[in-house]
Homo-oligomer: A and B are copies of this chain.
């Protein structure tokens, strides 16, 4: 493995606006068929097909055939992290409509990053868990404390299931809007799933924004002291 990485190859894949739109809308970890991605990226089917082939070839996306549909998703959490990281130095995109402006505010407050929560909400939850000694940060990973194990059990997350996956348990992930770390990995996903299950948050399709429900607001205040 005595080689160094070809950064411009990856950058070129992300540089094309239609491909960037595709990657962006898959950042929440969902899988979408080619036709839908063509609609989202505002290009024809042949064009999107060519873009998707390049993204798969470059290992940014993976695809699954389901019947006559072919579903595309991000190849890994790492890809999502790279896109978020580039966002930390990217200039703001031109805002053309009120809808875009509202959406951007929502994105900053809460969004999915691959399969876990990012934005202000993601960071606040992470901080709350750290402050209460439920998790701690070591070299590369968040660990659950003894006290934390009880807490997660009460919260409805069975930590033993993590052993059945090869996935990283819980590591810090940086996002562009807060420039702070939040929990990703198996635990990050488990927390997000639990939030959805309890009806504290819900999400729109074709959009990374996550909405906090009234029930969610109360729960955050009562259980996490997050206002």
Q: Is the CB of A89 within 8 A of B78?
A: yes
Q: CB within 8 Å of B: which of A138-186?
A: 138-140, 172, 176-177, 180-181
Q: Is the CB of B16 within 8 A of A8?
A: yes
Bitwise interface map of A from 1 to 29 toward B, beta carbon under 8 Å scored 1, else 0: 11111111111111111011001100000
Q: Is A218 in the interface zone, CB < 8 Å from B? A: no
CA distance A7 to B18 in the complex (A): 12
CB distance from A24 to the nearest CB of B (A): 7
> Which of B8, B16, B88, B181 touches A82 (beta carbons < 8 Å)?
B88
Q: Is the CB of B93 within 8 A of A6?
A: yes
CA distance A181 to B15 in the complex (A): 27
CB distance from A180 to the nearest CB of B (A): 6
Which B residues are in CB contact (< 8 Å) with A79? 89
Q: Contacts A11-B11, A11-B15, A14-B11; is A5 near B181 (CB within 8 Å)?
A: no
CA distance A166 to B60 in the complex (A): 37
Q: Contacts A176-B5, A181-B139; is A10 near B89 (CB within 8 Å)?
A: yes
Q: Contacts A11-B20, A85-B81, A86-B86; is A91 near B140 (CB within 8 Å)?
A: no
CA distance A85 to B81 in the complex (A): 8
